[in-house]
Structure 1
Amino acid sequence: MRTLATGIDVPWGLARLPDGRVLVSARDSYRIDRLDVAAGRLTRVGTVPGVVSNVSQQGEAGLLGIAVSPTFTRDRLVYAYFSTASDNRIAAIPWDPSAPAGRQLGTPRVLVRGIPHNVHHNGGRLAFGPDGYLYATTGEAQRPALAQDKGSLGGKILRMTTSGRPAPGSPFGTLVWSYGHRNVQGIAWDAAGRLWASEFGDHSADELNLIRPGRNYGWPQTEGRTSRAGITGPVVQWGPPQDSPSGIAIAGGSVWMAALRGQRLWRIPLDGARTTAAPQDFLVGRYGRLRSVLAVDDRTILVTTSNRDGRQAPGAGDDRILLVRVT
């Protein structure tokens, strides 16, 4: 394990480029940087306009998730999930690599607007699935009833085309892929194409869920495991002091989950749609709050800290990107 980069202003999203380098979004400075993993060097790409953060309120809004187009070598598009003063949005942003460093981002083209927004529970994870469609996680913006309202974009996992339209096979004919979520913070796919998601609970149970299209994951009627008809319960759950999950990645046959309040990295071994053993925790308290995880390959992950997000005093070098070898 080693530190690749330091002094970043709340690194929130990670996305791998075709050449192996990684884009990093910074929540409160609205910057996107490019990380050369081998050299441990960050280069500024640009700043996303129109973003509004609320860090002064210990809030969770700002420049959040990013994703790289599956056809990036042709279209040079980066996708971003970000907050404005009134909503959360998803946009496609052209990237001109021939432009001077720091000015390579073009004008965002908004694909989805009107995602519910609040001080907390803004969701924000963004990733392309193995089916080539764009997935986004949203929070219920501290209005729990939105999670059960299939007409709202809040408290959902969304699935869309690169133009922001509902992707083929949508269970409701809309962007909504699953509902009943409180605040999904991480998504990743296993080798069989199954979608896994980490979710903030309230006071009793944080969750790792296996996502099926059209399923109801229970919030606010249920939290954690349940036998209630029509509700899909989690595969694994934790108490918030040990977890408060954020980003996840899958490597070496396990889900690797970053914990904010729990200040640790969880390993959850998988056996198909089940877990094979009790979760194990690593890096407990060593680097503070952990935010995002990205698989570089099946044995290497990147992990970001989140100690400048307004929840605690940052230490020297915060925030940082860690390279972790996994087994």
Structure 2
Amino acid sequence: MALLPDGTLIITERDTAEVKRLVDGRVEVIGVVEDALSAGGEGGLLGVAVPPDFSDVPRLYLYYTSPTDNRVVSMSYDGNGLGETAAVLTGIPRANIHNGGRIKFGPDGYLYIGTGDASNASLAQDPASLGGKILRVTADGAPAPGNPFDSTVYSLGHRNVQGLAWDSAGRLWASEFGPDRDDELNLIVPGGNYGWPLVTGAPGEEEFLDARVVWPSTATSSPSGMAIVGDVAYIGGLRGERLWRVPLADGSAGEPASFFDGAYGRLRDTIAGEDGGLLIATNETGGSRILSVEMQ
């Protein structure tokens, strides 16, 4: 999900590859990414992001799985539907699982892209690969100025990045799937190595950065989309089927607390609403919903 400047909610659907908008309770299809329709597995149409200059140059950024790779494109938007497509970044490894897919523009105006290891764990430690990374690019897909490796790579050693959000000090946080344990919330620093597949969680090994929160069992977490509101991280859980609340302060993370345990199925994405509340995308038996909730 992503919000346009006028409050219109944009929603992507993985399997149908449809881009939809929600206006006054009405859901309308504004485009279909045909190239993503045959992706299969965890692939398909994934993340969506709204650029900071949208009001001047209305385009949507989309991350999807093509027949040959994962890629980011931008598509023009005329207020009625999507039009011309431009490639932003191609060649991100794809597989049946671990395709990543979260994209967001940061407070610095650059696009951040969370990728997965595409079922090949060694890619996460390979600085030449786009798999198992957080990437940082300009709106046209070039390496953003100041990137630590003179490439699109911003951080490495990730298994399957799912959530990206910034706190009030501009610090980037990311949620990430562990294997069958050690789901993570990480504080991201430029050039940081987060250890996968050599380590998971927070083992305290000097050459890797420890996760700030570690969920020992994926049965209660599988952290997906994340929003930060008032320096509190709200993270949807897939297998855990709950919303996690984690207070943040000066780059540290407090004790997680869970809400809505099992009430709404898998919580796929969480974003900040216009009124300071949260919008949550669910995957429930029999269908999906967008929830609007207030958190204390």
Q: TM-score, normalised by structure 1?
A: 0.88
Contact 2:39 2:66 (C-alpha < 8 Å) held by counterparts:
no
- Secondary structure of the residue aligned to 2:36 is coil
Q: CA deviation at 1:240?
A: 0.5
Which of 27, 51, 54 is the matching residue for 1:72? Answer: 54
**Partners of 1:252 and 1:298 within 8 A in 2:** no
What pairs with 1:38-187 in structure 2 (closer than 5 Å)? 39-55=24-40, 59-97=41-79, 99=80, 104-187=81-164
Q: Quote the offset at 1:54 in angstroms.
A: 4.3
| 1:270 paired to 2:248 | yes
The answer to whether the 8 Å contact 1:21/1:34 transfers is yes
Moved over 2 A (4+): 52-55
Name the SS for the 1:72 alignment partner: coil
2:11 equivalent to 1:29: no
Equivalent residue for 1:323? 292
2 CA distance for matches of 1:258 and 1:181?
19
Alpha-carbon distance between aligned partners in 1 of 2:155 and 2:192, rounded to the nearest angstrom: 5
Counterpart of 1:20, as a letter, is G
- Give the letter aligned to residue 292 of structure 2: L
Once residues 44 and 175 of structure 1 are traced to their aligned partners in structure 2, the CA distance between those partners, rounded to angstroms, is 32
Given residue 208 of structure 1, which amino acid in structure 2 is its aligned partner?
A: L
Aligned residue in 1 for 2:2 = 15
Partner of 1:293: 270
Gaps of at least 5 residues in structure 1 are 1-13, 308-313
Q: Which residue identity lines up with residue 325 of structure 1 in the other structure?
A: E
Deviates more, 1:222-231 or 1:210-219: 222-231
Higher RCO structure, 1 or 2 (CA under 8 Å, sep 6+) = 1
Q: Tell me what 2:212 maps to.
A: 235
Give unmatched runs, 5+ long, in structure 2: none
CA contact (8 A) 1:251 1:298 kept: no
Counterparts of 1:263 and 1:67, CA distance in 2: 24
* Cα deviation 1:172-227 (Å, max 9, x = unaligned): 00000000000000000011100000000002200000000000000000010112
| TM score, norm. by length of structure 2 | 0.97
AA partner of residue 106 (structure 2): G
CA contact (8 A) 1:62 1:82 kept: yes
How many corresponding residue pairs? 295
Aligned counterparts of 1:148 and 1:188: Cα–Cα separation in 2:
23
SS in 2 for 1:23: strand
Whether contact under 8 Å (2:47, 2:102) holds in the other structure is yes
Counterpart residue number, 1:190: 167
More moved, 107-116 vs 145-154? 107-116
Q: CA deviation at 1:85?
A: 1.2
